Amino acid sequence: MTPYGNLFANLPERTDQEQFEELLTRPGLRIERIVSTGQCSPPDFWYDQADGEWVVLLQGEAELRFADEEGPRRLRPGDFVAIAPRRRHRVESTLAGQTTIWLAIHFAA
């Protein structure tokens, strides 16, 4: 757990994988910073989480896709989405060559 900091500081260099950093963990609650540099979910992969999630895009652009919707949602800085438990979703894209920063709050339903 990181006791204090800045969400835009100490960003990892471009890597082949998204970077996940837990900022705060408590029973039934997990807050994490996610840094993407062009990554997306693998083909045919869907997140299917037991907990709820609230995510906000702080920097960059992304497309988030839900299994029960026709097309992806384009997210820009400041856009947020509440994801119900077990709602299947995936990251369709993030911009290559640009750092995308997410703040995700996972909570017990």
Domain of residue 35, CATH code: 2.60.120.10
Across all residues in the chain, what is the average pLDDT? 93
pTM listed for this prediction: 0.91
Residue 94's contacts (CB-CB under 8 Å, 6 or more residues apart) are 36, 37, 38, 39, 40, 60, 61, 62, 63, 100
pLDDT digits (tens, 9 = 90+) for 56-108: 999 999 999 999 999 999 999 999 999 999 999 999 999 988 999 999 999 99
Number of domains in the chain: 1
Share of the chain above pLDDT 90, in %: 83
What is the pLDDT, as a whole number, of residue 13? 74
**Domain range for residue 63?**
20-107
pLDDT above 80 for 45: yes
